[in-house]
Amino acid sequence: MQRLTSRVRARLAGEHGATAVVFALLLVPMLGFAAIAVDIGALYAERARLQVAADAAAIAVAQDCSRGNCGDMLATAQELITLNDPTGTAGQPVLSSDPLSVTVTGGAPKEHWFAPVIGHDSSQVSATATVGWGAPSRGTAVLPLAFSYCAFLKQTGGAVPSNETPQKLNLTKTDGAPECHSPSGNQIPGGFGFVTTGAGGCGTASQIDGILQSDPGESPSNGCTAADFASYVGQTVLLPIFDEAGGTGSGGWYRVYGYAAFRLTGYSFTGQFKTSPQPCSGNERCITGYFTRFVELSDAWNYSPDAPQMGASILRLIR
């Protein structure tokens, strides 16, 4: 019996040794699979984080450039990269004129957890973003207004807007400026005019060279409420600029020349459409504010390199 027990113990000891050898042989490929599952997953997560950082950096640089001053592009890009990915480093942004755009590339080292077992301590992750910009060519204005190119020239002198002093513009019916229309004040062209709204709401869609239908009233078109207008006081909105007009009454029309950014500070129309204090009184119908520089990021607007540049720019992430 003692001999049998000794033989069993010896056999088990041999099997234990074989198991240890097999486990040792399998350990390396098991760690390799762990490297694939964990480390590569971490690489994808880092690249996603770095892509967000590159997108933000490209948008920030494009905003500066679209306003006419790119400034220190590398410093701007690095600031946004760091805010979104503290380990990231920005490369020198690259400007392009065809299309008008800027490209930012960010990089970051990523140390591995398991891959060092198979000889890979870390990997360099990179991400690239390109943002293009240009003047608005079509979109939906949030207010049913159209300004005359003459009014734009009177306030800005034709240069890119920079004066932040509010100016008063009169509704076409009460605007007697002879340089914008006949002294009778009955022509559609003038300081500004109301246009018909789209289906529901206060917005009006248009495009360059397109036609907007005039609303002959002395208050905003149907679909707009006093609260709608009041919500944009102190805000900058994109509005169409017309260079041709014709017709009379509800048959009047405006031809869209381009789009400008207008900072709305007050207005006085009929009914409840008034701010306090009212910028005009009596039979006058007016709006106050100023044309200014503005960068629009929403998808509500498109841009074109051929659109007239009147101080507003549309940004698009194009890669």
Same domain, 63 and 142: no
For residue 145, give the amino acid letter: L
The pLDDT of 131-136, averaged and rounded, is: 95
The pLDDT mean for the chain works out to 83
Is 125 part of a structural domain of the chain? no
- Cα 54 from Cα 91, distance rounded (Å): 10
3-state secondary structure of 277: coil
Residue at 127 is within a domain:
no
Tokens 């910009």 correspond to: 133
Is 89 within a domain? yes
Instruction: Report the 10 Å Cβ neighbour count for 38.
Output: 14
Question: Rounded mean pLDDT of 24-50?
Answer: 71
Query: Which of 169-178, 180-189, 220-229 ranks highest by mean pLDDT?
Result: 220-229
In a domain, 129, yes or no: no
Same domain, 145 and 271: yes
133 part of a folded domain: no
pLDDT for 71 equals 92
Which structural domain range is residue 258 located in? 138-317
CA 265-271-276 angle, 5° bins: 35
Query: Is 59 in the same domain as 100?
Result: yes
- How do residues 234-255 score in pLDDT, each as one tens digit? 999 999 999 888 877 778 899 9
Same domain, 20 and 69: yes
Whether residues 148 and 267 fall in one domain: yes
Domain-terminating residue out of 85, 120, 155: 120
Residues whose CB is less than 8 angstroms from the CB of residue 157 and which lie 6 or more positions away in sequence, other chains included: none
Residue 131 pLDDT:
96
Q: Are residues 203 and 307 in the same domain?
A: yes
Q: Are residues 301 and 167 in the same domain?
A: yes
Does the pLDDT value for residue 17 go beyond 90?
no
> Residue 36: is its pLDDT beyond 60?
yes
Does the residue 126 lie in any domain? no
Asked if residue 196 and residue 84 are part of one domain, the reply reads no
Q: Which tokens hold the place of 294?
A: 């503005």
Stronger pLDDT, 301 or 29, i.e. the higher one = 301
Does some domain include residue 272?
yes
Residues 46 and 100 in one domain: yes
Predicted local distance difference test score (pLDDT) of residue 183: 44
- How would residue 145 be classed by pLDDT, with cut points 50, 70 and 90? very high
d(CA 222, CA 244): 24
pLDDT confidence of residue 39: 65
Q: What is the mean pLDDT of residues 45-70?
A: 92
Residue 278 shares a structural domain with residue 238: yes
- Distances from the Cα of 27 to the Cα of 22, 32, 182, 209, angstroms: 9, 9, 91, 71
The CA-CA-CA angle for residues 187, 309, 259, to 5°, reads 45
- Among 274, 258, 141, 131, which Cα is nearest to 198's? 141
Q: What does the pLDDT average to over 264-290?
A: 91
Token output for 67: 């306003």
pLDDT at res. 8: 41
Domain match, 2 and 69 both: yes
- Region 200-206: mean pLDDT is 87
The reported pTM is: 0.78
How many Cβ atoms sit within 10 Å of the Cβ of residue 122?
12
Report the Cα 146 to chain-centroid distance in Å.
Answer: 23
Position 128 in a domain: no
Same domain, 74 and 207: no
Residue % of the chain over a pLDDT of 70: 77
Cβ neighbours for 198, distance < 8 A, ≥ 6 positions apart: 140, 204, 205, 223
Contact 135, 304 (CB under 8 A): yes
Confidence bin at 130 (pLDDT 50/70/90): very high
CA distance 228 to 203: 10
Nearest to 261, CA basis, from 197, 228, 299, 310: 310
For 290-313, the pLDDT digits (tens) are: 999 999 988 889 999 889 999 999
Tell me which of 30 and 17 has the higher pLDDT. 30
The mean per-residue pLDDT over the stretch 263-292 comes to 92
pLDDT of residue 115: 60
The answer to whether the CB of 51 falls within 8 A of the CB of 78 is no
Instruction: Of 251, 161, 172, 241, give the one whose Cα is nearest residue 209.
Output: 241
Say whether pLDDT at 12 is over 50.
no
pLDDT for residue 167: 87
How many domains does the chain contain in total?
2
Residues 79/93, Cβ–Cβ less than 8 Å: no
